[in-house]
Structure 1
């Protein structure tokens, strides 16, 4: 990364934007239809957990999208020179549940960034703070970590789907779900979130350009499923939920979602592929 890039990124820290949306009955119906039966019970007036990731998506015109389907750089997020962008993790604090009919305002602020060297080359992590409010006040506070990476390697250097050294599932859960990560599920979730990143629906792009062995399961989709799993196990909506992507998960295979109690008010969760490798780790607290 050049010094100019870092200068531009430093200037972006503290930048904010606000966007609004309304939680319609139709959105709630489509969300539940996409994820059922893997949603925690909710009252008729409440929304299912994780629906806030479907609110106020960027409405970038198609002609302003980049090759990967993301909006072209130069908008709200810093102009990171590394081309590949994905969720790295984050944490949410649920102050109050969202309700059907709520008018929602999300204020987003670029909180900081850091650069490091990973196994695949240079990495840049950008942290964004979101405050999601209704007329009753702040409902959700969220820290979102986004990672930028280098372009894919040549075809002869593409990583294996299940490289050695990845963390593996090694414990028995108190509750587990097995989800079919079909291309249909990925398409529906992309539609719910208006996410046009091509790694989630364009097989040729995902394999030939990005270098993945298949379509990539969304990070927020895994986080949503684990959040609902933790709430189902504990019987109540958690106050805090932190999650971290450990490795990519690919469509077409069963994904095991597991949760285990770590005390009266803590549940640890994880997603695991059919080979036992971990895709995401999370922890919920009450």
Structure 2
């Protein structure tokens, strides 16, 4: 990447790494299943495989209260580069599910700053940070899961900002589920992932400070709902890879839909989310074993 005088030498953070440890307990599994309205709730006994993406319930960011910034995230610096832009969003992710993670596993996650890129967009400067996570279980040398996490930092909202043109959502869904993103759903997911980002629960902050029309539905929650739709429709399938890209913010002002279909090759699953107007908000693809 090229450094800019305004953003400083962010490239110095590339290659930085940290490892954290956790234990896959049963209670977060049951709590997320309840939040996603599963019936019956899973037993989540020792040895049970956890669903894809539910590893987000672990390795939670346990920052001290005194270290939290005005947006509810940890103050800039530390492991992630100190990007001096006020708005931070989860832009997308790519996953390889190599072996199962199970209730009772002792797990380790090694995270590395893979890349930092500065770009100029229609709303000003954008900084993209790509983090590689490798999750291993019970002391295994090879990771059970490899994840690339894409984070985007943006400038503050300006009165003359022009929103990017919306994209029409795909047609031809064979699976479809309506989601009502009320305050309780967003609060419960924030609590389960220990996510203090105020854009998900503080309506005054998100509308007056960041300039959005309503509470923002978590990108990882939408991705989890897409994967949950796949599991509801193909309960015996094993997912090998998954990738998603956030296309447009989803707000709590209206219901939205998660959609999917199995492609003719019998291995590729096309998944997407759309808002109440039919605009694409998240685009995703899964491949099955």
Question: Which residue number in structure 2 is paired with residue 37 of structure 1?
Answer: 38
Q: Partner residue of 1:93?
A: 96
Q: TM-score with structure 2 length normalisation?
A: 0.91
- Indicate whether 1:284 and 2:286 are aligned: yes
Aligned mates of 2:148, 2:39 — CA distance in 1? 24
Deviations 1:257-276 (A, max 9, x none): 00022221101110011111
Task: Quote the Cα distance in structure 1 between the aligned partners of 2:93 and 2:245.
Answer: 7
| Structure 1 segment 1-286 matched on structure 2, within 5 A | 2-3=4-5, 5-7=7-9, 9-37=10-38, 45-135=48-138, 136=140, 137-154=142-159, 157=160, 165-234=165-234, 235-262=236-263, 263-286=265-288
Matched residues in 2 for 1:273 and 1:38: separation? 26
Give the drift of 1:37. Answer: 3.0
CA spacing shift, 1:40–1:283, aligned 2, 3 Å: farther
Q: Judging by fraction of residues, say which structure has more helix.
A: 1
Determine helix, strand or coil for the equivalent of 1:138: coil
CA–CA distance in structure 2, aligned partners of residues 214 and 70 of structure 1: 19
- Deviation digits for residues 19-53 of structure 1 (CA, Å, limit 9, x no counterpart): 11111111111111111239999986122332111
Structure 1, unpaired ranges of 5+: none
Whole-angstrom CA distance in 2 between matches of 1:38 and 1:243: 26
| 1:15–1:59 Cα change, 3 Å | same
Would the aligned equivalents of 1:38 and 1:228 in 2 still touch at CA under 8 Å? no
Q: Distance in 2 between matches of 1:119 and 1:38?
A: 45
Q: Distance in 1 between matches of 2:221 and 2:107?
A: 21
CA deviation profile, 1:70-109 (whole Å, cap 9, x unmatched): 1001110011121211111110111122211111111000
Distance of aligned partners of 1:30 and 1:11 in 2 relative to their CA distance in 1, 3 Å threshold? same
Question: Compared with structure 1, are the counterparts of its residues 38 and 141 closer, same or farther at alpha carbon in structure 2 (3 Å cutoff)?
Answer: farther
TM-score by length of 1: 0.91
Pair 1:279–1:116, CA change in 2 (3 A): same
- CA distance in 2 between counterparts of 1:39 and 1:68 reads 37
**Count, aligned residues:** 280
**1:172–1:86: structure 2 CA closer, same or farther, 3 Å change rule?**
same
Q: What do you get for the CA RMSD once the two structures are aligned?
A: 2.2
SS in structure 2 at match of 1:63: helix
Unaligned runs of 5+ in 2: none
Provide the rounded CA distance (Å) in 2 between the counterparts of 1:13 and 1:254: 39
User: What is the DSSP-based 3-state SS (H/G/I as helix, E as strand, rest coil) of the residue aligned with 1:236?
Assistant: coil
39-48 or 220-229: bigger deviation: 39-48
In structure 2, C-alpha distance between the alignment counterparts of 1:185 and 1:158, rounded to whole Å: 30
